[in-house]
Amino acid sequence: MTRNERAVDVLVVGAGPAGLGAGAELAASGAGRVEILERELDAGGVPRHCHHSGFGGRLRGGDTGPDYARQCVRAAVRAGAVLRTGVTVTGWVNATTAGSAADGPADAPSPAGAHVLDVTGPAGLERITARAVVLATGARERPRSARLIPGGRPSGVYTTGELQQAVHLYGQPVGSRAVVIGNEPVGHAAADTLRTAGVEVVAMVTDQPPSPVAALLRLQGRCPLLTRATVIGLSGRARLTGVTLRHEDGRTLTVPCDTVVLTGDFVPDHELARRGGLTLDPGTRGPAYDPEYRTSRPGVFAVGNLLHGVERAGVASSEGRAAAAPVLRHLAGTVPPARRPVPLAVDAPLLWIAPNRTGPAGARPLRGRFVLRTARRLDHPVLVVTQDGRELDRQRLLLPAVPGRPFHLGAGWLERADPHGGTVRITAV
């Protein structure tokens, strides 16, 4: 099959806030030809279908998602990045095997160290050689099948992303009585979208114990919140008729409804990273990476929610911009002397830490701190950092650590970690 072959300096995969931030900064900094590829017909990523405000780095107010998405797109294009939509990156051709007989007619060998990716778009198949690749493919909520929820396969079952696309992008009707599974910010965004579409939210459900915030929401009467409960079944044949829940004390309850939204439980969209042979972090399930956004494959960088489930859009955009400097150093061949990356790992109930590798001497994560998540609420925990039994640091959190929300660990201890030592462990006590 004929493939159009081209070369670029930097190929950015994904045009959400992270990829557009990286593309804007790289193009403005003279990285050469910077091309951003987006599989959707419109660029902007998740914010395109989040019609609420709260984007642009501000916790309250701020821009709506679509406004923010447009600003990110404009910034990248104005800086000189080439943005192509409706174009999906489907895989990698190992630089050393590019042009092998199995891949079709003899291709010119790729320049040493370059990466070759296969791409499908309106113009047909392409093979793009890039001196550096920035993966910015985002994260997605786990669908019903991956959550192992028993029952039939009725319509009316959504993730937040599917709901928002149905309502805001396609104007489809979604039902009249809904249950939202999850009580994190994304669950509330789903509830708002349902109300905008004229759907009554009859309950929100969480497996977590009651919290002061939950009590406040009940007082405000926005909707009943069922705590310490999990979904054990969906009923209905053609259309959903109810959701069966089990409380942790064993009681069960079926809530009649025609719509259920499964929120949170994000997984990095790591398929392309996996196909590229990148080492994945067992905690985040995104590519393992260091404070310079370097993955296990030289010249391949990763940014945004691909690295750590869902952070705010402003964080994803800042990560994209921050990755530009190390990418430029890679292009210029001025990468700092190699230092063995030491893995970082957490102990339960902590779920993950990001970045999850140490980097070159002096490299610090964004804003000088690591981001972490926990599986259960911890009241003002002390985070203890150890390596080979040696304590490197301990930091008390001023606020509780709560599931589904980020909390942070300062990076001041990094220089005390032994680059020849074992895994650095973070424990909450």
Ligand X SMILES: Cc1cc2nc3c(=O)[nH]c(=O)nc-3n(C[C@H](O)[C@H](O)[C@H](O)COP(=O)(O)OP(=O)(O)OC[C@H]3O[C@@H](n4cnc5c(N)ncnc54)[C@H](O)[C@@H]3O)c2cc1C
Residues of this chain that bind ligand X (CB under 6 A) = 13-19, 37-40, 45-47, 50, 52, 54-55, 88-89, 136-138, 160-161, 164, 186, 189, 269, 272, 304-305, 310-314, 316
Task: Find, among 44, 5, 40, the residue nearest to 317 by Cα.
Answer: 44
Question: Cβ of residue 392: shortest distance to ligand X, in angstroms?
Answer: 30
Q: Which is nearer to ligand X, 297 or 425 (CB)?
A: 297
- CB distance 181 to 189 below 8 Å: no
Kindly provide the b/e burial profile for residues 171-207, where b requires at least 16 CB atoms within 10 angstroms of the residue's own CB.
eeebbebbbbbbbbebbbbbbbbbeebebebbbbbbb
Least CB distance to ligand X at residue 67 (A): 12
Q: Whole-number minimum distance, CB 276 to ligand X, in Å?
A: 11
| Closest to ligand X by CB, 161 or 242 | 161
Nearer to ligand X, 164 or 387 (CB): 164
Nearer to ligand X, 288 or 414 (CB): 288
As measured in angstroms, the least distance from the Cβ of 160 to ligand X is 4
CB of 421 to ligand X, least distance (A): 32
Closest to ligand X by CB, 51 or 425: 51
Side chain identity at residue 204, one-letter code: M
Cβ distance to ligand X smaller for residue 90 or 423: 90
Q: To 10 degrees, the CA torsion angle through 247, 285, 261, 48?
A: 150
- The Cβ of residue 319 has, within 10 Å, a number of other Cβ atoms equal to 28
Q: From the CB of 370, what's the least distance to ligand X, in Å?
A: 18
- φ, ψ at 327 (rounded to 5°): -65, -45
Please, which residue, 272 or 383, has the CB nearer to ligand X? 272
Please give the Cα distance from 339 to 251 (Å, whole number).
55
The two beta strands, 266-268 and 139-141, are: antiparallel
CB of 330 to ligand X, least distance (A): 21
State the Cα angle at 265 between 151 and 90, rounded to 5°: 95
Identify the CA nearest to 302 among candidates 335, 277, 327, 331. Answer: 327
* Cβ proximity to ligand X, 18 vs 130, nearer residue: 18
Which of 169, 105, 97, 128 lies closest to 13, judged by CA?
128
Closest approach of Cβ 21 to ligand X, in Å?
8
- Residue 287 CA to residue 291 CA, distance in Å, equals 13
Query: Between 109 and 314, whose beta carbon lies closer to ligand X?
Result: 314
Residue 381 tokens, joined: 């925990």
What minimum distance in Å lies between the beta carbon of 36 and ligand X?
9
* Cα–Cα nearest to 426, from 342, 360, 364: 342
